[in-house]
Amino acid sequence: MWLNIKVLGEDGKWSNVDSRVAMKLHTVINAEGDLAARTDPQWMAALERHGFTLDDDGEVAQLAGAVRPFSRRSAQIERNRARLVAVWTAEHDGARPSIRVLTQIDRRAWAMSRPNKPAHLDEQSWEATVRDELEVIDPALTRDRSPIAHTATPTDALDLDLLSDAAVVDADARSTRSGGRFSSFDLRAGAIRALSRSGVIAPRDTLTATIDEISERAHRKSVRLAGGADIPGHVKAYMATETMRLKIRLSGRLDALASPGRSLLPTELGRAAASIEDIDTLDASQLAAAGAIAGRGGLVAVTGPAGAGKTTMLRVAYAGLAGQRRRMLVVAPTRKAASVASREVGAAASSLHALLADHGYRWHTDSAGAQVWARLSRGEADPTTGVVYDGPARFVLRRGDRIVVDEAGMVDLQTAAALVDLALEHGVGVAMVGDPNQALPVGHAGAMASAVRYATASVELDTVHRFSDPEYAALTLRVRNPRDRDDALQVAGELLEHGHVQRVASAEEARDAMVAAYFDWHARSKRVALVAGTNDEADAINDAIQQRRVNDGELDPTTLALGMGEQHILVGDIVQTRRNDPRTGVENRAQWVVRNIWDASIDLASVGDSGEIRRVSREYALDHLQLAYASTVHGIQGETTDAAVVGPDVDAAGLYVGLTRGRHQNVAVTIARTDQDAIGNIGATMMRGTTELTIQDAMRAADAELRRAARARSLEASTPWVTPNSSASRGGLSL
């Protein structure tokens, strides 16, 4: 699509539209695509004639089963491929084919049973070829189907209130990275998407009034965060009423949880935890945190930078609670983090969601499409499984127990609210332990910040223990929270001066630098964390490292499995599992080395413990296994390695997390022509993406965005329009 950013005014002169504002229309444009795919009369009539229907995702339901077989390589293709690899190897004196050669072999193997589309297309023969392939997958697909009468929903029968609720839910779901704020553009896109799922079939020009009405009602169900009579459509100045209520309710429940209670003094903690030697190694802030967790305060908050010795502190707190005959349960947002905590602290541990599920909480989707927690009562059947719920079985809570939430900065508001309700019900204390400056939750953030505000005892860990260089340890504290822009630039300058910044000329050079860093540390048998700004960049780095390992003879490309996105997975690759699987014992975000690849399964060995072996199916691998030489910030959060390299285009959390993974060396790569440019880039990254954790933060951010828009309008009004020399079709914005 080509979006022109020049408009013809009433006076006959051309003017540029603000391209930054135009880009924010993309959500509306995408929504219009959804609307066309579900409501266009001609398209729906064609489906109806041929006996097809659409599923909930807008895909053709009857073809869903053919998608994977059609796109994947079949067993026959795999046999073709193995034969071609053997021939190539014999012709090249036993050499190993590169990834590029293997890709060419894949195409040939596929073409043996599915010819490539010819350069000079004969539509009829090509249609016959495709139909033949579909018939192999499912003979019913190519048979004539009886027409299906679609029952369209009349526009006058629509529940506009429900559709407006769905519009707000849609906008709210896309607002998690802006503190829950969204714009009129976002609400209109939500209205369009809600209407597209309503069952209406009608020409587009007849739906505008309905969309307007849904959008207007959605505005009335949203809270306005900024003043002023006229708010431009792109300014994120609204918040879902339910999100604001959730923030207010969570604050009240945290306040109720924060019952008075004294922390243990160091001497008391020493007596209670007399059996553990770690207590002698704790600094003052760690002692205070352990004493607070082992104390009687209803709500404890422990924040601190990466490498502050949180695990050692928790071991002492656990021993202190055990000495009082009280129990500690460590929970974390992911099962991987919970397993690490259980292994290193010694306490019982679980994912936070597993704890809530054991006490009857279930995620469900309400009528407007919102994901919310609901709770089963004893004797009530689970609506998904049909199993009658009979109360908690794994995590029975007793008054006086302490639930420690590790990586609490990644807990979303809804989950935090459910946990606090559970704690109040059973009379147990909660300790939120985390760092809001690191990776944020997938949902709405702010739970950790609210816990700090209302806690009976709030402790900030102030000493970094992870790094071999104490001066660098002190510098990471300033990277974590620069005072202002000048301070950020000063910190960036010190990072550069001490060798923690690598300047490159292009994105390609940045990628090469990260690949080189991997092999530098790999040659020393050390682990290095490579932190990329996007999944696509991580994939590119992963592919480059894998290719070089093949070229160096470290990996054998002749035996492979297919991972997510049909990545080639080879024996010896570093991979990451992306979904918990209780049957095989693998966890989301856990890292592994591929040990063996069999006909139906793959053996994985833990990166941290080579004796920990898991076996997953090829089906699991195709959907949930990916290369993991490099990853984004969420993939590396919680890891400690020998070294770390952070690529360009990360945000402030990504930069900080990346620069605090390595014990011995941490480097940020930036694209800059001069050292001064490099300092500017790193400094700007530190200040980028200030997290809006509270309602007050959101209101201030909305007001600041509105003021920026007002200044831009003032500048436009004071600048005369100039007729461009070029035609209006030039200067467009490609989306």
How are strands ordered across the β-sheet holding 222-224?
Answer: 181-182, 238-240, 222-224
Residue 432 to residue 403: CA distance in whole angstroms: 9
Q: Is the pTM of this model over 0.85?
A: no
The CA–CA distances, whole Å, from 259 to 72, 255, 314, 405, 432 equal 58, 8, 21, 18, 15
Q: Which residue has the higher pLDDT, 723 or 423?
A: 423
578-610 pLDDT per residue, tens: 998 888 989 888 899 999 999 999 999 999 888
Q: Which of 620, 633, 545 lies closest to 584, judged by CA? A: 620
Residue indicated by tokens 């109806």: 48
Instruction: Dig out the tokens for 647 from the structure.
Output: 């690529």
pLDDT score, position 141: 85
The yes-or-no verdict on residue 356 having pLDDT over 90 is yes
Query: Do 246 and 414 meet the contact criterion of CB atoms below 8 Å apart?
Result: yes
114-154 pLDDT per residue, tens: 445 455 667 788 788 778 878 887 888 888 889 988 889 99
Query: Do 42 and 201 meet the contact criterion of CB atoms below 8 Å apart?
Result: no
Instruction: Dig out the tokens for 190 from the structure.
Output: 């939500």
289-315 pLDDT per residue, tens: 999 999 999 999 999 998 888 988 999
Pair type for strands 2-3 and 733-734: antiparallel
182-193 pLDDT per residue, tens: 999 999 999 999
Q: Which residue has the higher pLDDT, 428 or 135?
A: 428
Using pLDDT thresholds of 50, 70 and 90, give the confidence band for residue 669: very high
Q: Which of 327, 208, 318 lies closest to 272, judged by CA? A: 318
Query: Do 328 and 313 meet the contact criterion of CB atoms below 8 Å apart?
Result: no
Using pLDDT thresholds of 50, 70 and 90, give the confidence band for residue 104: confident
Q: Which residue has the higher pLDDT, 549 or 75?
A: 549
Q: How many residues does the chain have?
A: 735
pLDDT score, position 94: 73
Average pLDDT, the chain: 87
Which range, 127-131, 376-380, 705-709, 731-735, has the best average confidence (pLDDT)? 376-380
3-class SS of residue 587: coil
Using pLDDT thresholds of 50, 70 and 90, give the confidence band for residue 685: very high
The yes-or-no verdict on residue 641 having pLDDT over 90 is yes
Using pLDDT thresholds of 50, 70 and 90, give the confidence band for residue 728: very low
Q: Which of 3-17, 307-321, 643-657 has the lowest mean pLDDT?
A: 3-17
pLDDT score, position 690: 61
- Residues 6+ away with beta carbon under 8 Å from 270: 279
End-to-end CA distance of the chain: 6
Average pLDDT over residues 509-537: 94
Which range, 245-259, 457-471, 605-619, has the best average confidence (pLDDT)? 245-259
If phi > 0 it is left, if psi is from -120 to 50 it is alpha, else beta; for residue 525 that is: left
pLDDT score, position 120: 63
What percent of the chain has a predicted confidence (pLDDT) above 90?
Answer: 56
The yes-or-no verdict on residue 673 having pLDDT over 50 is yes
